[in-house]
Amino acid sequence: MHEILQTKRLGRKILFRRVASSTNRWAKELAAVRANEGTVVLAETQISGRGRLGREWISPAGGLWFSVVLRPELDAEEVTKVVFVAGLAVAKVLRELYGLHVETKWPNDVLVNGRKVCGILAEMNTTDRTVNFAVLGIGINANFDTGKALPEEVRTAATSLEDELGENVLLGELLEKLLEELESLYEQFLREGFSPILKMWKRYATFIGSTVEVAGKSEKLSGVALDVASDGALVLKLEDETVKHLFIGDVSLRIGRG
Ligand code: BT5
């Protein structure tokens, strides 16, 4: 793996456990004791895989569950945008390697045929507005049958590469390509800012223009997703024609089809 991996910083050190609680948690522990930028931790299964807002991420064997330690010299608001960098990297790689019809869904999902194949969780450790480190966790449903491996309430909105392709993929190759794409896009993000990343991300964002439902902690809104703004906010036109900007972190999006 290390001999063929064409990266300068991401994945130069990769740690593997058969079972982890959560690779994000593990990466945060390592980052807190000064693990270098680019350190990757990888697990075959996670027993407490996490989504946003403490939600559970089901992580059976056969998936690709990993987290990367990042040390961007950016303020906290900019760093939240790494979820778009990661979503774009995953979408590009799944299309290029397997020819899948991939979509990005605001803010942190990648879908194939309208179902979630990948979830992304970015977390940061900050002192005031200074980011000490960030951890970028990526979970890809790869080599398992969602009908067997995921509970019923999750299964209906989920898919896996095995479900879509009818065969298993090489996890080593997938990880290698993801780290290479991620590094290249992350470096572009650091150099050129968010705008070129968002532009590329939007090419996969077929939900723009559709009716969507957005669920927050207490309220539920429905309307037309007009755009994703230059700060990463979802621009939503409500039924009464008012326009709202919703920020990453505390809402979930459901896309109305048809
Ligand atoms: C996410 O949260 O989609 C972020 C998931 C991040 C997982 C990676 S795996 C490596 C790293 N280590 C971790 O502990 N986490 C990261 P969110 O948007 O909140 O979506 C969570 C929701 O997705 C759950 O409430 C379920 O409804 C659904 N879900 C759970 N497991 C799933 C799976 N394997 N496939 C598809 N959907 C799933």
Residue nearest to atom 3 of ligand 1 (CA): 119
Beta-bridge partner residues of 80: none
Say how far apart CA 17 and CA 24 lie, in whole Å: 13
DSSP 8-state class, residue 71: -
The secondary element (H helix, E strand) that includes residue 93 is helix 82-98
> Ligand 1 in contact with 28 (CB < 6 A)?
no
- In tens, the pLDDT along 72-127 reads 999 999 999 999 999 999 999 999 999 999 999 999 999 999 999 999 999 999 98
> Ligand 1 in contact with 254 (CB < 6 A)?
no
Amino acid at 172: G
Measured from the Cα of 23, ligand 1's closest atom is: 12
pLDDT, residue 216, reads: 75
pLDDT, residue 96, reads: 98
Residue nearest to atom 15 of ligand 1 (CA): 50
Burial (CB < 10 A; 0-12, 13-18, 19+), residue 212, is: buried
3-state class (DSSP) for residue 132: strand
Phi, psi for 239 (deg, rounded to 5): -60, -30
For ligand 1, the distance from its centroid to the CA atom of residue 119, given in whole angstroms, is 5
pLDDT at position 169 over 60? yes
Token pair of 210, please?
């559709």
| CA-wise closest residue to 119 among 142, 101, 100 | 142
Beta-bridge partner residues of 70: 134
> Ligand 1 in contact with 221 (CB < 6 A)?
no
Residues 35-46, mean pLDDT to the nearest whole number? 98
pLDDT at position 252 over 80? no
pLDDT at position 54 over 50? yes
For ligand 1, the distance from its centroid to the CA atom of residue 160, given in whole angstroms, is 13
The secondary element (H helix, E strand) that includes residue 152 is helix 152-155
- 107 neighbors 248 (Cβ within 8 angstroms): yes
For ligand 1, the distance from its centroid to the CA atom of residue 176, given in whole angstroms, is 21
Residue nearest to atom 9 of ligand 1 (CA): 139
CA atoms 184, 132, 51, 220: torsion sign: negative
For ligand 1, the distance from its centroid to the CA atom of residue 80, given in whole angstroms, is 17
- In tens, the pLDDT along 214-251 reads 987 778 899 999 999 999 999 999 999 999 999 876 56
In this structure, the dihedral spanned by the alpha carbons of residues 199, 158, 58 and 10, taken in order and rounded to 10 degrees, is -30
- In tens, the pLDDT along 25-35 reads 999 999 999 99
Mean pLDDT of the chain: 94
